[in-house]
Structure 1
Amino acid sequence: MKILVLHGPNLNLLGEREPDIYGKMGLDDLNEKLNDEAKKMEVSLDCYQSNYEGELIELIHKVRGEYDGILINPGALTHYSIALRDAIASVDIKAVEVHLSNIYQRESFRHKSVIAPVVSGQVSGFGYYSYILGLYALINELK
């Protein structure tokens, strides 16, 4: 089984950007923890981060037939990117949405996810562990 992890805008600054909200763990450490969990489950994992909506969309289109699932933290694109939503909906790859913070406890503009209707589920509010829970949920969906 092969999973693609997509980190959206500003996630390259994890550990530095608003650590009281997003935690002190950097992106490389997060990816390492995800890879450790994936190995335990005998799953192949590739991680990719981009600050550009178009790059994420192109990658989703490109990986059709190559990956079984997508674990995605769309960052701020969660709340307004119909193009990213449509990209996920247009490929036959199961996906799970994750967020480090609980988006429903934050500013009201963050309460709406345009991505949620086209993914199997969403995990938010558990810091880096949201990714771990999301990975387990995605693998369960794929089995």
Structure 2
Amino acid sequence: MQIRNAEAADVPALAQIWHAGWHQGHAASAPPALTATRTLEEFVERLGCWWPTTQIMRAEDGEVAGFFTLDGDQLYQFYVASAYQGQGVAAALMVAAEAALAPRKAWLACAADNLRAARFYEKCGWVSQGVESYETETTVGPLTLDVLRFEKDLSGS
């Protein structure tokens, strides 16, 4: 599998993965007002500004297997297509994300009840700093959520 920078042509595939992954990990516990905004079209729109800071992994068959997006020191988005979950894609993407974030102290926000993701981040050496309020963008304006903040010192010191 190959990791590379995303291109505008990747947006439809990325939006599908992000939409499906968001609903898999968040929809059951997210506020109804947020879930209502999380349509495929919204993810396409949001990717309009985020794809330049996104890296993707393509599988041997050419399909996008997963992606991550950076925002400064933040690992902003991290998703693996359902067909590729459990195949080492997440681990390989995390290595690439951490390399892109080095050499600094990085952080990410994880839905407080997304235990699968939280366990993965902990397995990768990210340390939970506890619950904090986090403002997320939507098509109807920002919403504040409680999230787990994870941090990892990637400075090598």
Same-fold status (TM-score > 0.5): no
Q: If the length of structure 2 is used for normalisation, what is the TM-score?
A: 0.35
Larger Rg: 2
Greater helix content? 1
TM-score by length of 1: 0.38
Q: Which has the higher strand share?
A: 2
Comparing both chains, which one has the higher relative contact order based on Cα–Cα distances under 8 Å and sequence gaps of 6 or more? 1
